[in-house]
């Protein structure tokens, strides 16, 4: 089983932008449970089926299986198996101090949300935090793509949109 170790941060300004083009991503979930999910993603001209599973005792690592699939199949699955609920975003890769960060600029019902992620080799790995990265939201479930399907950014409170922690925004 592959393991994904990821940290996620709010993006606080546009200084991360570079002239390189981003990649359009559309994704939906065939199954979304508390501890596992099955996702279909089309990223540019490629498509993937991804299965993720929470790992006990950690909040930033997940088991992950990812398989390339034909884009035609992915389009059919997004249309027929995901109830029309999609996350749409443009993903940019930004190099910072020897690490590649991905910055996701969301569209559709999640327009206005910009989140940066860094994948690490181990949970305690050191990395430089870019100046444009704000508060860490790795463990805040409202920022998980799987949850942006049912409760998109356009339905968040003003406090949540400012990136205040869920408790301060009156949510659990």
Q: Are 94 and 130 in contact (CB under 8 A)?
A: yes
- Residue 27, beta-bridge partner list: 41, 87
pTM for the model: 0.89
Residue boundaries of the structural domains of the chain = 2-161
Q: Residue 96: in which H helix or E strand, if any?
A: strand 87-96
Catalytic residues: 29
Classify burial at 166, counting beta carbons within 10 Å of its beta carbon; exposed 0-12, middle 13-18, buried 19 or more.
Answer: middle
Q: What is the pLDDT of residues 123-168, one digit of tens each?
A: 899 999 999 999 999 989 899 999 999 999 999 999 988 877 665 5
Question: Which element (helix H / strand E) includes 72?
Answer: helix 71-81
Element (H, E) at 76: helix 71-81
Q: What is the CATH number of domain 2-161?
A: 2.40.320.10
């Amino acid at each position: 089983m592959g393991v994904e170790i990821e940290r996620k941060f709010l993006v606080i300004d546009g200084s991360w932008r570079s002239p390189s083009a981003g990649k359009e991503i559309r994704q939906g979930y065939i199954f979304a449970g508390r501890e596992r999910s099955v996702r279909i993603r089309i990223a540019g001209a490629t498509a993937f089926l991804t299965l993720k599973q929470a790992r006990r005792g950690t909040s930033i690592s997940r088991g992950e299986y990812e398989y390339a699939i034909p884009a035609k199949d992915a389009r059919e699955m997004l249309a027929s198996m995901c109830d029309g609920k999609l996350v749409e975003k443009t993903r940019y890769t930004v190099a910072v101090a020897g690490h590649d960060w991905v910055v996701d600029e969301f569209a559709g019902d999640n327009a206005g949300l910009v989140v940066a992620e860094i994948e690490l080799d181990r949970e305690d790995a050191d990395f430089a935090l870019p100046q444009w990265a704000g508060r860490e939201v790795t463990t805040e479930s409202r920022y998980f793509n799987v949850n942006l399907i049912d409760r998109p950014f356009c339905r968040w409170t003003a406090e949540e949109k400012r990136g205040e922690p869920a408790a301060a925004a009156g949510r659990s």
